[in-house]
Amino acid sequence: MLRVIIFVCLCVTAADFSEVKKSKLVIDNDAGGDDAMAIFLTLLYEKHFDGPKLVGLTTANGNTPEHNVYFNNQRILRIADRQDIPIFRGSKSSLVTTPDAGAWFGNDGLGDSGLNFDDLVPAQEKNAVTALIDLSKTYKSDLTVLTIGTLTNVALAIKTDSEFLDRLGHLYVAAGHIHDDENPDAEFNAHMDVEAYHIVAKNANPDKVTFLPFSQVMTHLNITRAWREEVFGAIDTDIIRAMNQFESVSLPKSDRWHALDPAAVAVVVKPSLVSEYQYSKHDINLCGQKRGLTTNTFVDKAEANARIVYSYKEEEYKKFLLDVFSRK
């Protein structure tokens, strides 16, 4: 009888392993409102659902200049009461051409809320590229890197250390589009450093690198602004009150709420929220009128250099957000 009980327990554990396997995570970000939500989501999932351990934030120019990104990372960690997490400052410009980023989330990237604290923890002396390489050596295949901004830091890590990508457990890249008539323009994160995106794509393979195109979030997580404000935004926690401030500039710009960065975290920590992956010969246009447009030729895995998150489970994703962010 004892042997039967042990066998059943082992079966349950094995079935759930893909959801609960503990790993280490670095988030490379440009600290707009969607980045803040992604970081909060990671920390709440780590605390309440035994999710991956966040071992570092790396900063890059993007939604706002890098000095604001750094300040925003400090504020995000202070609100989450997780100032133990190191911040490593990274790229202040793109490799070749740095486009104008605009101010989708406000001039400071976090809704121009004016929120400040007296006890913010300074960044580490080590820069972002060195930190990414060193962490890949420390944790090796246990380390996942998620980029939710420009790819400058990761591209520099790849060019500096040819074994960097091979050491990682996985690299997730939240950037790009699957282009069609609905998405004819370059996606923001890809456009912010086209050469860096090209470096990552050229060194990718589908066992190591997954791309999460924003077009697929807009199509398959086509969530209303009303749901964001009246359901999700009504959660009574300090984090959600802060998020409502951080998105106060961006939310009125559309009747939909399309947020790539928290969707990317969801894929990392709960992959069952993905409906479909596809494999692609994936790259980005470097020149001419198509500069910044990502390219996909969908093929069998053996011919591909990248795995693509193609579709999501919207209702399950919304429930996931409510479950995680409702935790104190």
Of 36-45, 58-67, 173-182, the poorest mean pLDDT is in 173-182
- What would the two tokens of residue 259 be? 């947020």
Q: By percentage, how much of the chain surpasses pLDDT 70?
A: 94
For residues 200-228, average pLDDT: 98
* CA–CA dist 174, 221 (Å, integer): 14
The answer to whether 245 and 46 are in contact (CB under 8 A) is no
Helix or strand (DSSP H, E) at 5? helix 2-20
For residues 242-265, average pLDDT: 98
Q: DSSP secondary-structure letter at 303?
A: G
Of 125-139, 178-192, 218-232, 304-318, the poorest mean pLDDT is in 178-192
Model pTM above 0.85 = yes
* CA–CA dist 268, 262 (Å, integer): 10
Q: DSSP secondary-structure letter at 118?
A: S
Q: If we measure between CA atoms, which residue out of 24, 42, 4 comes closest to residue 320?
A: 42
- Our measurement of the distance from residue 138's CA atom to the centroid of its chain's CA atoms, rounded to an integer in Å, reads 22
Domains by residue range for the chain, with CATH:
30-325 (3.90.245.10)
- CA contacts within 13 A on the Cβ side of 306: 30
Which residues lie below 8 Å from residue 166, measured CB to CB, with a gap of 6+? Answer: 208
User: Quick one: pLDDT at residue 181?
Assistant: 83
Residue 182: exposure state from Cβ atoms within 10 A (0-12, 13-18, ≥19):
exposed
What pLDDT digit, counting tens, does each position of 17-57 carry?
Answer: 344 447 999 999 999 999 999 999 999 999 999 999 999 99
Angle at 265 between CA 241 and CA 119, to 5 degrees: 45
Angle at 266 between CA 262 and CA 272, to 5 degrees: 155
Strands, E, within the chain: which ranges? 24-29, 53-59, 87-88, 143-147, 170-174, 209-212, 223-224, 256-257, 274-284, 294-298, 306-312
Residue 110's CB: how many other CB atoms inside 10 A?
Answer: 30
Counting every residue, how long is the chain? 328
What pLDDT digit, counting tens, does each position of 257-302 carry?
Answer: 999 999 999 999 999 999 999 999 999 999 999 999 999 999 999 9
pLDDT of residue 225 exceeding 60, the answer is: yes
* CA–CA dist 210, 267 (Å, integer): 10
What is the torsional sign of CA 285, 32, 56, 45?
negative
Q: If we measure between CA atoms, which residue out of 105, 117, 128 comes closest to residue 31?
A: 105
